[in-house]
Every structure is written in C-alpha cells, then in structure tokens.
Structure 1
Amino acid sequence: MGGACSRKRDLLDEDALHRSGRYSKSSSAKWLLLTLPRCNSNVSVREQGKCPSLMDLCLAKVREDIKKYGSFSVLPRDISQLIFNELVTSHCLNDVSLEAFRDCALQDILIGEYPGVKDGWIGIVSSQGESLLSLDISCSDVTDTGLSLLKKCPNVQSLKCNYCDQISDYGLGHLSGLSNLTSLSFKRSNAITADGMRAFTNLVNLVNLDLERCLKIHGGLVHLKDLKKLESLNIKYCNCITDADIGSISGLTSLKELQMSCCKITDAGTTQLKGLSKLAHLNLEGCPLTAACLKVISGFPSMMFLNLSRCSISDDGSENFSALQKLKVLQKLKVLNLGFNNISDACLVHLKDLINLESLNFDSCSIGNEGLLNLKGLLKLKSLELSDTGVGSNGLSHLSGLSNLESINLSFTSVTDGGLRKLSGLTSIKSLNLDSRLITDAGLAAITSLTGLTHLDLFGARITDFGTNYLKHFKNLQSLELCGGFITDAGVKNIKDLKSLTQLNLSQNSHLTDKTLELISGLTGLTSLNVSNSRITNTGLRHLKPLKNLRLLTLESCKVTANEMKKLQLSALPNLLSVRPE
C-alpha cells in the first residue's frame, strides 16, 4: 500500500507543500519517535520471531492507540501515509479513525475491497486535494454523489472503481475533468453504458483503460478514438462487443495490449486491427474465429503474447495450414495459447521456428507423442501445458533437452510412472501437475531429483502412505494436492515437515482423522487447507488454532458443524475469509 516516500511524482507543487508545513524528509522517522508515546515492549508485530524495526513498533503503537488521535494532518505526509496503510492492512480503519486523515495530503488511498466504504469516506478522500494521485474504491458502496467529490483532486493519475454497481453514467460525467488520469478501471460495472462513455473523451492522457465485463458498452468505443496515448484496453467478457465496434479503436496506434476474450469478434473484425503495429499482447480467447485470422495477426511484428484458446482454429485443410504457417514470422512471440482448438501434430511443425517461446499451451488439443518432436528446439520454453492430450510416456523423451522448463501439466494424459523418469533431468521444474490414476508411488520415486518443486498436483494419483516418504525430497514445496484416496494419518506424518507449504489439499482421503489436523498444526504458513471427505470431527478443529495465516478452509462431508467452524473462525483464525461448509 502507498509507499509514497519512495516514489517520484511530477504533478505536485512541492513549494506549496513546504509552505503548508507538510514535509517529506528523511528525518521523518526521527520526528515521529520524538512525538509519539514510548512503545511498550509487548507491542505485537506482524512477523513473530523477527526483530521489528523502530518504524514497525511506532506504527503498531499508533494502531493500538488510534482512538487517542484526532488528526494526523500536522505529521509529515510520508508518515501519515504509512499510518493510513497500516490501518488498512490491519483492518482497523473505520468511520472514526478515517476522520483523523482529513487534509493529510495523502498520495495513495487504496481501499479496494475494504468493508464499509461509502460516499462519506470520499469526503475525507477529496480533502487530500491536489496531493491525491492514486485511489482504489473497488467493491464499495460509493455512488455518483461520492464520485462527484473527486473534482477536488485534479491530479489523480490512477482510479479503480471495479465492481461499483452504484456508479452510473451520470457518475462517469464527474470524471471528465480529471485530465491527468493515466489509468482507469471499471471492471464489472453493469450500470455503465455506451452513452456514459462520453466522459472518457476528455481523458486524453489515459494509458490504461479496463472495462472488463461491462455488458452495456456496445457502441461506446467510438468515444475512445481520440485517446491517442492509450496503450492498454481491456474489454474481456464484454459479449456485447462485435465487429462493428472494432473500427472505433483502429486508429489507436499506441495500443500495445488488447484484451477481447469472449467478445463476438470474427475474422472480419480482426482485419480492422491492421494498423496497430505496436500490438504486443492480444487476447482473443473464446472469440468465434478461424485460422484465417492469423493472416492479420502475422502482421504484428511486436507480438509477444497471443491467446487464441477456445476459438475455432483447425488444421484440417491446406488453406488453414498456410494460415498457421504465418506464425513463423512472429519471432518475438513468448506466450502462445492454442488450447481447446482442433490442433494436431501436423500443426506443430509450423511452430518450431518460434525459438523465443517461453510458454506454450495445447490443453485439450489433438496432439500426441510425435508432435512434441517439433518442440526440441524451443530451448527458452519455461511453461508447457499438455493436459488432456494424446501425449504419453514416449513423447516425454522429446522434452529432455528443455533445460529451462519450469512448469509442465501432464494431467489426464497417458503418461505412466516409467515416463516420468524421462523428466528426471529437467531440474529447473518448479510446478508439476500429474492428475492421473496411472501415477503411483513409483512415479513419485522417479521425480525425486526435481528438488526445486514448489507446486505438485497428484490429484487422483494412487499414492499410498509409503509413497509419501518421497515427499521429503521436496523441501521447497509451497502447494501440494494429494487426493487419490489412499492416504491415512500415517502418510501425513511425512507431510508435517514441509514447512514451506502454503496450500495443502488432502480431500477425498476418507481414512484421515483428527490426528491429521494435529500433525499439520505446525505448518503455520498454510493459507489454504482442504481435508474434505474425511473423518475429521468438531473435536479436531482445536488443532487448527496455530494456523493464523489460514484464509481458506474446506471440510465438506466431514463430521463437523458450521457452528463450530464459525466459532473457530471468530476465536482463533482472524484471517479466515472462506469456510466450507458455512
């Protein structure tokens, strides 16, 4: 949050700030130490076991005594900013404590998803005046009335109003004077229509505009045609957008990123993008396209990210083969997603010259072992998605030279334990997904050389308690899914020492008991835990009390009650946001 004292900004009149007494000097911390009460030695700090800095101690003390302070306006701005950020992070900001920040010249007020934000809060926000540079009120109850108060903050550069359903076209009109805005986001704002987008016409300095899931903006893109500095436009999941809208943005020659997933854009629509020569990031996932669109896409020499997943691209004819071959000219391409298309082995020959590829997705395509031969030269490849393809154990031998590979998904393939041995030399792998009933303890033994693994998904694999012994080789594991149904409390003993774990899924193992919760009670870094379909009872819940970082807890089909889980949440797990069953 914030961090104002470390950033250089161009729009502020520093002389005016000095005249008002709001300084931003390196001696601010010393000033705070002289003016705040002495901190008690028992002040709690966020990271137990680590020596806190003097600033941490001061902020903790202010948070503890927040009711004693009526105003922070006399403090240096960077200190006020740090105190504000601390209250937001610790969820201690409310209607009363917020009042202390009136006229504090804060630069950043990032309260997106914070509970209770409403029009009254914007009065305090607007009191920051010309100092305010960044505001996030996403998921709030702010209305058009609240938005009108931002006229007092003409230097705002970044504004996020995602999921603000009470802001309408009328509210957008209040933004037309904020000509210094460079970044504006209104994700999933259903009240915004094409007519309301007239307010964007004057925002000539906009660089980033996010209108994801705004479902009533068909015809509104015409109001963007003069935003010549626009580099990024997100209209994903706006299924109202059609080919007729694309002509309105064809002249935005500064565009580098265009997100249009699940819009109604066809091959004809893509032809109107020809002039966007700087386009480097193009997302057309789920659009009704064919391979013919690649003729246009091949004309973007700066293209680095291309997502054509879930389109209607096929390689079943000579004309389409010719179109796919056009991709060869995109030598800067780093990320290519062709998942859920009718792509076969014959298609992959057209990709072997894209030697700068770092990520390649063939999820649910019709490729097999022979097609992987064309990937041998992609030595920069870091991520490879082969889920639900015809790839088997023999095909993995073609990947043996990809020494930079960090992530590979082999779920729902015919890869067996023996095939996994062919991955043993790829020691850069950090993420491995092996959802398959074909994988057993022997497969886990075959990959023990991959000691850098941080994510291991064995959902559905037939790993037994004996096989969990091999997990000791993966000391860096942060995420583990082991849901085949063969694990008992005895196997969990081999998991309890994986201290780096933040996500653990042991669901579907019906023999696990309360003993499992006792065993993992030392994994204090866990943020997500799933032990559904087990024999866990209300009695075992007490073992979860040390897991203070837990945010997601799932115990579906266990012998626990929603009432007892709620008690646990209120009494011992303050960070728990999602509990199932509720």
Structure 2
Amino acid sequence: MRRIRVWAIFLLAFKLLYVNCSTTCPLACLCHTLNGKKQVRCEAGGTTLSQKFISNSDRDIAVLFISGSKDNLNTFNLSTAIFQSTSFEEVHLSFSSLNYLPDSIFSPVSNTLRVLNLSSNNFQDIQKEVFLGLSRLTHLHLDGNILTSLTLSAFSYLSSLKVLTLSSNLISDVIQENAPLDNLEFLDLSFNLIGDPVGPQSTLSQIFFTNMPMLTVLNLTSNNVRSLPWEALDRHNRQLSELYLGYNKLQTIQPYQLSVLHSLKRVSLRGNPLRFISDEAFRGLHLDFLDLSGLPASVLDADLFVGARIKELDVSNMKLHAFRQETFRPIAANLQALNVSENRGLRVHSGMFRQFTSLKRLFMTHMPTSTLPPILGDNHNVIEELHLSHNGLVHLPDGLFPSLPNLRRLNLSHNRLQRVPHLAELKEIREIDLSGNRLAFLSEETIKAFSQSTSLLRSLKLTENPWDCDCKRVAPLRRWVSLGFDSFGRETVCMDAEGKINCPVCSLPASLRGTPINNISADALSSCDSDL
C-alpha cells in the first residue's frame, strides 16, 4: 500500500512539473504560472518571434514577455495574423530593430489585451490604426524608441488608457491637437527634446492638456521646457498630484502657477536655471515631497514657504553657505525629511535643525566637515534615519547615539572614523553602514549587544576598513560571523545587497592580510582569551 502511495505522489509531482514546464515552451524561455496566469518569458535576447513561435506555444498563455539587451537584440517577424487564436492579456516586445507594425495587428486580442510594451525598439512613428480595436488597453509603453513627434490622436482608439510612457525618445515636435484621453492618469515624457529651440514647438500648448481630466502624474524630466500652460493645467487637470519638471529650462515660477494646482503632492524643480521663485509660491499646497536640488541658493527667499505644508524637502547641491532659520520656519513643524547634502560651503553649527521638531530623516552627505556638532539641538527623539556618509568625519560626539533612542538607520560610510562610540545604545537600530572608514576593530560591548536574540539589527556593513586581526581584537567579531545563520551574525555582517557573502577583510597582521574574517582559522586565534 505504501508503494502505491509513493507512486501516486510521484505521478502528482510529475504532473505539476509538466504544467509549469510545458513541452511546448519555446527554447531558451521560461514558462510558468504566476498569480493564476500562464506566462512565457524570454529575457536573454536573441529570440525570434514568428508565427511558428506562437503556433508552438500554449493557447492559454496570458503574458508574453520577450526582452533582451542592446548587445543581443531580438527579431520580431510580425504578420497581420500573428496573434490569431491567442488570448494575451500582456504583450511585452522589447529590444529589437522593429520599426513598423501592420494596421490592426492587435485586433485578435482586443478583448483581452490590457498591457502593451513596445519599449527599446526602433520606431520613428506609430500610426493610430495599429491600435485599432484596443478599447480595453490600460497600459502602453513606448519608451526607448526614436520617436521624433507626439501626436495624441495616435492613441484615440485607446479609450481605457490609464498609463502612457514615452520616455527616452527624440520627441521635439508635439502636434497641437485635441484628442480625448479621458482616463489617462500617468503620462511620462521624460528624457526627450520637448522645448528644443531648434524644434517646431517651444513648449506644450494649452490644447495639449484639454482632454486629460484624470491626469494625476506628469513627468517632463530632462527636456528643454521653458514654460508650461499653467492656466490650462488649472482648468483641465484638477487631479494632478505629481509634477516632475527637473532638468528643464525653467527660469521663473510666478505667483499662482503652482499654488493653484491644489491636488499637488509631489513636485520636482531640480536642476533648472531658475532665477526667481515668487514669494508664497507654494501657498495652500500640502506637499508630500518638494525637490529644489541644484537650484541657486538665491531662490530660498524668506517668504518662499509661507502658507505651505511640506513633509519632505530636498535642498541639496544648492551652494548654500548659511541655513537661514526664517526661510524654513513656516514648514518647520511638519517637516519629516530634509536633505541638505552636497552643500560643500554650508556652515554646520549647533542647533541648526532645532526647529524641525517632527524630523524623522536627515540626509547630510558629501559635505567636508571633520566634526559633528549637536545639530539637532534638543529635538532628537523622533529621528529614525541619519545619513552622514562621505563627509570626512574623524570624530563623533560621545553623546550622539544615546540621544537618538528611535534611530533605525545610520549611514556613516566613507568617512575617516577610527572609532564609533556607544553604538550598543541604539536599541531600535535596524541598519548600520560603517564601510569605507578607518576602523581597526569593533568593541566587544557592541558585538555582544548586537548578537543578542533581542537585537533588531539586520545589517551591519563593515567592509573597506583596515581591520586589525590581532586575536584579542578580532575574536568577538570572528566568533559572531562564524556562528552561522542561527545567530544572524554572518547574515548581518557579511551578506551584501545581492545575497552574496562578503565579510570584512583583515589588513593586519601581515600574515592574515586579505583574509576575510570568517575564514580565519581557530588555530590562528588559539592564544586568545575568548573561547572560539
């Protein structure tokens, strides 16, 4: 009876294996079921998609995903009837020299197709007849082609379209026409040439935004836009909540341009040659995130933030020399994250962030300061993340960590620290990065605290330090990382972002130079007092 039961289990396992690895799966592709949908994924490149490929595949495949790389392109031989007798819900065809699609090619899957990804091909233009019948399509991706113009009427058949991405093309000509995209929520036109002075259209016109009433995200990053039709955005796009205008040619933000877009939650103006932002430019806005990185310091007028509420603010790389309290006072009580990195001339002084009583995350990196004064003042109990990498720090105040009871993430990488005092007092800490410093050892007190089962620490990066593997100094650390994964020591200290083991390496003594700490033999430390 047991033998019959074993054979039954074997046959069931074989049947399941057959379902997931169909004999009709194309060569060099992976066929499996995910979330109840059968998929064919060919991601290595060099795949030829033809009528034969489709005919040899299962009829009930929901997702067709063919990708590759610039060095290993695919070949797509797409006839008018290639999708006959299929029921694809998603079609992803990327990385090929494909530059033409027959009219109505997707009509056979018009009742099922929801996602169409044609990114990283060679399209210069696409006619609207290609999309004939795709009234149920919700996502269209045309990124990474060589499209030179944008004609909204090309998408007029896509009445259910919610997401349209056209990033990284060569679009400079935006045809001024009125085409209904009544359900469009997400439009990505980043990394194009819109607004190029040599192009036929210097900016986006009012008519462009007329029929996008549901638009919530507009990404125009890295174009040459000098202005926007603010009145049209106010009139027709009342749902707009995310506006990304970084790295364009904007020179001014006038009164009642941004502030009338009352649904805005995330705004990026980074990297523009802005000479002027009007007083109270953000009045009435309750922003989750505002990015002013790379703008000239002169735009931070004393009344800039009057009437606004902002949770996260990026003022990095603005060539700030002084941190004027009056400028930030209107938003100080509600600010939860602040980035002042890369302001190399900024004078760091005691209490400079004292007024930010709700601050949870502080980024202050790439700033040449060798010491760290008590920058938080008395308002330190809510800080959860502190990022201080690439600063040249050689000393930390003894009272820094005991005053941060809720700290969860600490980044002190790439400084010049020889010791980090009182780490063991960080009871809520989850992640610590001390890589790229001048640490020769970690105190036994610290290792003992973090190796306890009650410790919340999950990542402690210690690489790129000159570790002294003298037995008394390295023994506690070596014991921790050698206990295996039951104690999480090796996982905590040595596992990198890719899941590979990369332990700290000895610098001294010469006999152990270049040896990962976890590879030090017990015999080499036999004279240590610690019991390994």
Q: Give TM-score, length-normalised by structure 2.
A: 0.69
Name the CA shift for 1:438/1:422 in 2 (closer, same or farther; >3 Å): farther
| Aligned equivalent of 2:113 | 156
| Aligned equivalent of 1:239 | 193
| Aligned equivalent of 1:506 | 463
- Distance in 1 (CA, whole Å) between partners of 2:434 and 2:129 is 49
Q: Is the 8 A contact 2:225 2:248 kept in 1?
A: yes
2:210 to 248, 251, 267: 251
| Aligned equivalent of 1:470 | 423
The one-letter code of the counterpart of 2:341 is S
1:526 to 480, 496, 503: 496
- Distance in 2 (CA, whole Å) between partners of 1:418 and 1:87 is 57
Within 5 Å, give how 1:120-519 maps onto structure 2: 126=83, 129-130=86-87, 132-139=88-95, 144=100, 150-154=106-110, 155-162=112-119, 164-167=120-123, 169=125, 174-190=130-146, 192-194=147-149, 199-215=154-170, 217-222=171-176, 225-242=179-196, 244-247=202-205, 248-254=207-213, 255-267=215-227, 273-278=233-238, 279-314=240-275, 323-328=278-283, 330-344=284-298, 347-355=301-309, 357-365=310-318, 366=320, 368-371=322-325, 374-375=328-329, 377-389=331-343, 390=346, 392-402=348-358, 405-411=359-365, 412=367, 416-420=371-375, 422=377, 425-438=380-393, 440-442=395-397, 445-450=399-404, 452-464=406-418, 466-467=419-420, 470=423, 473=426, 476-478=429-431, 480-484=433-437, 486-488=438-440, 490=442, 497=451, 501=458, 504=461, 506-507=463-464, 509-510=465-466
Name the CA shift for 1:223/1:211 in 2 (closer, same or farther; >3 Å): farther
- Distance in 2 (CA, whole Å) between partners of 1:199 and 1:286 is 28
Worse overlay, 515-524 or 288-297:
515-524
1:137 CA drift (Å): 4.2
- Look up the SS of the partner of 1:442 in the other structure: coil
Name the CA shift for 1:87/1:512 in 2 (closer, same or farther; >3 Å): farther
- C-alpha root-mean-square deviation of aligned residues, in Å? 5.0
Matched, 1:38 2:13: no
- Look up the SS of the partner of 2:397 in the other structure: helix
| Aligned equivalent of 1:547 | none
| Aligned equivalent of 1:70 | 23
- Look up the SS of the partner of 1:456 in the other structure: strand
- Render the CA deviation track for 1:550-579: whole Å, top value 9, x for unaligned: xxxxxxxxxxxxxxxxxxxxxxxxxxxxxx
When Rg is computed on C-alpha atoms for both structures, the one with the higher figure is: 2
Name the CA shift for 1:384/1:378 in 2 (closer, same or farther; >3 Å): same
1:104 CA drift (Å): 1.8
- Render the CA deviation track for 1:255-301: whole Å, top value 9, x for unaligned: 33211112111136656645344132211112211234454223322
| Aligned equivalent of 2:486 | none
Q: Is the 8 A contact 1:222 1:245 kept in 2?
A: no
Name the CA shift for 1:352/1:128 in 2 (closer, same or farther; >3 Å): farther
Q: Give TM-score, length-normalised by structure 1.
A: 0.64
- Render the CA deviation track for 1:191-237: whole Å, top value 9, x for unaligned: x332787632322332221111111x222454673323323211112
1:384 CA drift (Å): 0.9
- Render the CA deviation track for 1:288-328: whole Å, top value 9, x for unaligned: 1123445422332222222111222345xxxx5xx232321
Q: Is the 8 A contact 2:338 2:362 kept in 1?
A: yes
Equivalences, count: 465
Name the CA shift for 1:429/1:126 in 2 (closer, same or farther; >3 Å): farther
- Look up the SS of the partner of 2:303 in the other structure: helix
- Distance in 2 (CA, whole Å) between partners of 1:510 and 1:406 is 32
1:409 CA drift (Å): 0.9
Name the CA shift for 1:101/1:541 in 2 (closer, same or farther; >3 Å): farther
Q: Which is richer in helix? A: 1
Q: Is the 8 A contact 2:127 2:154 kept in 1?
A: no
- Render the CA deviation track for 1:387-424: whole Å, top value 9, x for unaligned: 2342523343533522xx33211221759433256376
The one-letter code of the counterpart of 1:359 is E
Q: Is the 8 A contact 2:75 2:96 kept in 1?
A: yes
- Render the CA deviation track for 1:478-534: whole Å, top value 9, x for unaligned: 4625323x1236579967858854684734x35578989977743375325888998
- Distance in 1 (CA, whole Å) between partners of 2:441 and 2:97 is 47
1:160 CA drift (Å): 2.6
Q: Which is richer in strand? A: 2
- Distance in 2 (CA, whole Å) between partners of 1:461 and 1:299 is 44
- Render the CA deviation track for 1:463-484: whole Å, top value 9, x for unaligned: 22x4266167266434625323
- Distance in 1 (CA, whole Å) between partners of 2:517 and 2:102 is 44
Worse overlay, 412-421 or 121-130:
121-130
